[in-house]
């Protein structure tokens, strides 16, 4: 193999590794993580299958905070299990250009503070098992979810903003690609 091809392959692998979340799919839930085990607060991308929703039920989740739009998905699995679905969508235009409605973030944080909640974003397109998104674990739970969880960390858990931002980075929050979300974080979260 030529050195040029070797370097190209090495750089491609490094870039793809940099995009991959530190929190892989668990029980078909992309980027799944526990926010607070005592209060039963969880985060991630939208579950890919019935098994993911069933897993959340076993964890004691009663409420789903849905940050994606109905065009992205309908949360049929949550409805099937009679979760209370709280729809607080942040659409693509708001993510990229803003503004983010502060009442949306406050409502999501408030629901999280009650506990027994799963907060998610993501979409059916990104959740297809054989998609490139699935291959590289880029299926949701990174951007809108990180913004809401970061706001929760600062407002409820009383974390320093820098610590919450570091957690957002672990989930590969895409500040450069989604300046609407980044501006909200910078200007509104205190």
Residues 6+ apart with CB under 8 A from 58: none
Domains, in order of start, for the chain: 22-188 (3.90.190.10)
Can you tell me the distance from the alpha carbon of 35 to that of 152, in angstroms, rounded to the nearest whole number? 10
CB neighbour class for 32 (10 Å; exposed up to 12, middle 13-18, buried from 19): buried
Can you tell me the distance from the alpha carbon of 52 to that of 27, in angstroms, rounded to the nearest whole number? 5
Can you tell me the distance from the alpha carbon of 38 to that of 25, in angstroms, rounded to the nearest whole number? 22
Summarised one tens digit per residue, pLDDT across range 126-157 is 555 566 655 555 568 889 999 999 999 999 99
User: What is the predicted pLDDT for the residue at 24?
Assistant: 74
Summarised one tens digit per residue, pLDDT across range 175-186 is 998 999 999 999
pTM of the model: 0.84
Coil, strand or helix at 64: strand
Summarised one tens digit per residue, pLDDT across range 5-56 is 545 444 444 433 444 456 778 898 988 999 999 999 999 999 989 999 999 9
């Amino acid at each position: 193999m030529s050195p040029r091809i070797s370097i190209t392959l090495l750089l491609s692998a490094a870039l793809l590794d940099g995009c991959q979340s530190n929190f892989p799919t668990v029980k078909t839930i992309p980027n799944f993580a526990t926010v607070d085990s005592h209060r039963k607060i969880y985060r991630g991308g939208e579950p890919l299958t019935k098994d993911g929703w069933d897993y959340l039920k076993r964890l004691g989740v009663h409420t789903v905070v849905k940050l994606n739009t109905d065009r992205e998905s309908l949360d049929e699995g949550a409805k099937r299990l009679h979760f209370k679905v709280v729809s607080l969508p942040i659409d693509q235009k708001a993510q990229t250009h803003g503004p983010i409605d502060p009442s949306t973030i406050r409502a999501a944080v408030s629901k999280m503070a009650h506990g027994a909640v799963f907060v998610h974003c993501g979409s059916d397109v990104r959740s297809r098992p054989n998609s490139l998104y699935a291959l590289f674990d880029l299926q949701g739970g990174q951007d809108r979810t990180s913004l809401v969880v970061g706001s929760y960390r600062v407002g409820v858990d009383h974390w320093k903003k820098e610590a919450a931002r570091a957690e957002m980075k672990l989930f590969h929050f895409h500040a450069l690609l989604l300046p609407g979300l980044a501006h909200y974080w910078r200007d509104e979260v205190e």
